[in-house]
Amino acid sequence: MRNVEIKAKINDIQLLLLRVKELFGTTETLIKQHDTFYNVTKGRLKLRRLLDVGDGELIFYDRPDVEGPKLSSYKKADIKSNEVSVLNDVLIEALGAKNDVKKLRHLFLVGQTRVHIDEVENLGNFLELEVCLKPEQTLEDGEVIANDIMNKLGIKKEDLIQGAYADLLNA
């Protein structure tokens, strides 16, 4: 699976939430997440706990740490609630944990794009766009879609950041 992703720091979360709802007429889903990142030699590996439902997702992804639209490839496995803490213990024992990221995610679906407005504990507020690419689409196709949404939302190039929230917490 592949997507084109951008991440940007935002100053006025309420204004951005309003703008997304007005421009795209989409409904909002609130998701409380707790991600634990593990030590790996390639890409990133995290266990995402979906705190509202108790289930989780083990996610491996690889993408360049650059500002602006970037291609991300990923694999994901759903984890049932009774296995999440056991899997976390196993991964910590085997790989060691880097850090934890806790956030409240405002999710909006806009066409083939997942629009995330994240309130990240101890870090601030961010916009993340994930353009889910169809098999026949290229990186450039995804960049066009991401740039269009960025422009409509008033996100400027200087707002863009690189890396993952886990990296920013370590900085």
Domain that holds residue 78: 2-170
36, two tokens: 């634990």
CATH number at residue 26: 2.40.320.10
pLDDT of 74 higher than 80: yes
Task: Work out the number of other CB atoms within 10 angstroms of the CB of residue 39.
Answer: 12
Residue % of the chain over a pLDDT of 90:
86
- Whole-prediction pTM value? 0.91
- How many of the other CB atoms lie within 10 Å of CB of 6? 23
pLDDT at 170 over 90: no
The pLDDT tens digits of the residues spanning 93-129 come to 999 999 999 999 999 999 999 999 999 999 999 999 9
Residue 69: which pLDDT band, with cuts at 50, 70 and 90? confident
- Dihedrals phi, psi of 52, to nearest 5 degrees: -70, -30
User: Is pLDDT at 140 greater than 80 in this prediction?
Assistant: yes
Question: What are the DSSP E strand ranges found in the chain?
Answer: 2-9, 29-38, 44-50, 56-62, 70-79, 97-110, 113-120, 124-132
Count of domains observed in the chain: 1
Q: Residue 31: what pLDDT?
A: 97
pLDDT at position 90 is: 97
> For residue 62, what are the β-bridge partners?
73
